Chain A
Amino acid sequence: MNLVENVRLAFASLFANKMRAILTMLGIIIGIGSVIGIMTMGDSLSGYMSSTMQDMGTNNVTISIQERTENDRRAGAGNREMQMSQQMLAQMMGGQTTLTEKDLITEAMLANVREKFNDIIDFISVSNSVGSGSTTDGRKYANLSLMGVSVDYVEANNIDMKAGQFIGERDISGSKKVAVVSDKLVEKMFGQADPLGKQIFLSTDTHSGTYTIVGVYWYSQDMMSISISSDNNLSTNVYIPLSTANKITGSDGSQSVTIVTKAGSDSAAFADDVANYFNDIFYVRNQDFRISAFSMESMLESMTEMLATLQIAISAIAAISLLVGGIGVMNIMLVSITERTREIGTRKALGATNGEIRTQFIIEAVIICLVGGLIGIAAGIGLGAIGASLLGFPAHASVFAILLASGFSTVIGLFFGYYPANKAAKMDPIDALRYE
């Protein structure tokens, strides 16, 4: 009696009792389905997150100004997470101190940092947000967010140019009124016409002016706009020279700067070093603000970790469902063996050994679990894909989870099938043949 015949036999007996087989499988289907569903959603989310962050650049370290907490003022540097949560608390309670010109990160500071960490820093990208607004030519209309940027911004943020040039050194030194716009904005405002060299009227709450389009970049949806974006009122960035923006806002410093480290350098360690450097040299006497830095890499790591923990927790709950499903399988196998006592007796009379009878029923239990598992995997991927698309990111089935689930259902079959199969194997052939 070989494996193929046993498998065929197992399917034959499943088909003979379809309703019973489906009900038995239900526990396994629900258990496996929910694990796979959660895993698919989690993987889709983390896959999407890491690809977005990859786009933003894993070598990026973001430097930003943060308000000091009470604790901070007294004790100096402490636990960073604690500081962050305390800061959030302080913000919620409304105890915010206004940022003034003297608190901002200046060009001089950046020049100093660049010199100090010359072997790690690839380039520094500075931006200054003017505000959100819109552009219109009377008939057509598009939302935008106006941003002053340095030359390196294009590299640091992996902006992909479609046509023309990004903001250059000359634009900055001359504080020119030039703009780089997204392909989406071009599509809306200019249709198929070539936008390069065209004038565009941009207006925000505090500023309005006419700019010349010098470049078009490919728009890519980022993390922040996952669910708010619809094509109709999509707001895209319009980049203008940093110096031009500084003039508008009347400020020479920045609230946040992105430093791109050289490939292969430890950006997480660099983030700590650069934050300490800023705080020790430039912000040591600042009572209200300090500098914090985080790397994309460490952020990605901690988010992935968080997701993995969540997945494990949900999988543990699903494991309970699988346990219940397994007990259901064992129960049905015991019923089936009782019903088929005479068959077992006959098989023994025809020369089946105890081992062969045991194998036959274990395989039957494994087939029930495996078929249930496969249905569960299909259902789980379906649900996960629906969930992922509802949340607005591309679905991504977890191969690892599928393999794990198939393996796990087999193990459940083996474990819960063994006892009934062994009971069948140990039946006395004479009693079994006489069973009514």
Chain B
Amino acid sequence: MKTIIDMQEITKSYFIGHPNEFKALNDVNIRIGEGEFVAVIGESGSGKSTLMNIMGALDRPTEGKYYLDGIDVGQEKDHALSGIRNRKIGFVFQTFNLIPRMSALRNVELPMAYARVPGRRRAERARQLLEIVGMKDRMSHQPNELSGGQKQRVAIARAMANNPAIILADEPTGALDSTTGHLVMDIFHKLHEEEGKTIILITHSRELAGETERIITLRDGAVIAELAGSGKQGRTA
């Protein structure tokens, strides 16, 4: 199995040289293979967000090496990081973060626009993706005309736009009721099973994490456990 994420001895320190210096991540090693569905769980303050920021190429580690799909992300310049985020990573946020005043279709097109995909191909792909997430009928709706679950489905379609190496979902069901949350999780399962996507789910919910194949537990900035999950069948409610 091809390795997509390879984090070696990643440390992230804040307030370096100050008396209140602390390590949000301390010597973290994580390897994730292509097509895996992995959950990262931990209490708040465990270093989850910091890990996600580094994994998502939004931030750089203080020490250690991070290879994403073979690229050394570690110390790239801002401009290069933008390109990596654009082509290699699909973000799904807790708060959906759709751009207001832009239709669902245009929101899905946005990452492709930044990747300079020609307009026609962009629209075509965006339509296909919205169909996959079941939002074909509401393509021209603006975010404020969509429900939470619908917004998140559009956001997932947007994350898939440039066919990224990983989908990085940060508490994707956190703002949704459990029924809608399950629907959103179903889409992740579908993408994982049918499209073979590598999905990393960051959550504080053990229940949600149980639905994935592997659960990485963080505490105080370090990986304390790696357990196998039970997959979709493990859903409790």
Contact = CB atoms under 8 A, between A and B. Distances in A.
A1 B82 contact: no
B53 interface: yes
Interface in A1-19: 1-2, 5, 9, 12-13, 16
B105 to A, nearest CB: 13
A88 interface: no
Contact of A349 (B83, B91, B101): B91
Contacts of A350: 85-86, 91, 110-111, 114, 158
A345 B36 CA distance: 28
Contacts of B17: none
Given A5-B113, A351-B115, A353-B79, A342 B101 contact: no
Contact of B87 (A351, A354, A355): A351
Nearest to A12: B101
Contact of B114 (A1, A12, A13, A429): A1
Contacts of A356: 114
Given A1-B113, A12-B102, A347-B110, A352 B82 contact: yes
A353 B82 contact: yes
A342 B79 contact: no
Contacts of B115: 351
B93 interface: yes
Contacts of A348: 58, 82, 85
Contacts of A354: 78-79, 82
B85 A351 contact: yes
A271 to B, nearest CB: 67
Interface in A319-355: 342-343, 345-355
Classify chain B's interface size.
20 to 34
A433 interface: yes
Given A1-B114, A430-B59, A433-B93, A351 B99 contact: no
Interface string B109-127: 0110111000000000000
A145 to B, nearest CB: 69
B84 to A, nearest CB: 8
A345 B56 CA distance: 13
B59 to A, nearest CB: 6
A342 B97 contact: yes
A348 B86 CA distance: 9
Interface residues of A, number: 24
A355 to B, nearest CB: 8
Contacts of A12: 101-102
B141 to A, nearest CB: 15
A321 to B, nearest CB: 31
Interface string B151-167: 00000001000100000
Given A1-B114, A5-B113, A350-B111, A16 B101 contact: yes
Given A342-B97, A346-B99, A433-B97, A351 B111 contact: yes
Contacts of A345: 97
Nearest to B111: A350
A434 to B, nearest CB: 9
Contacts of B91: 349-350
A429 B110 contact: no
A138 to B, nearest CB: 79
Nearest to B97: A346
Nearest to A340: B100
A5 B79 CA distance: 21
Nearest to A13: B101
Interface string B39-60: 0000000000000010010110
A183 B102 CA distance: 67
B48 to A, nearest CB: 13
Nearest to A346: B97
Interface in A347-385: 347-356
A349 B58 contact: yes
A351 B114 contact: yes
Nearest to A4: B119
B78 A430 contact: no
Contacts of B162: 351
Contact of A430 (B58, B99, B113): B58
A347 B91 CA distance: 11
Contacts of A351: 82-83, 85-87, 111, 114-115, 162
Given A350-B110, A430-B59, A343 B83 contact: no
Contacts of B79: 353-355
A79 B91 CA distance: 82
Contacts of B100: 16, 343
A345 B93 CA distance: 12
Nearest to B98: A346
Contacts of A16: 100-101
B21 to A, nearest CB: 19
B41 to A, nearest CB: 20
Contacts of A433: 58, 93, 97
Given A1-B113, A5-B113, A343 B99 contact: yes
Given A342-B97, A348-B58, A430-B58, 6 more contacts: A2-B113, A9-B102, A343-B99, A349-B85, A351-B87, A351-B114
Interface of A: 1-2, 5, 9, 12-13, 16, 342-343, 345-356, 429-430, 433
Which 6 A/B pairs are nearest by Cβ-Cβ distance? A351-B86, A346-B97, A353-B82, A351-B114, A350-B111, A12-B101
Interface of B: 53, 56, 58-59, 78-79, 82-83, 85-87, 91, 93, 95, 97, 99-102, 110-111, 113-115, 158, 162
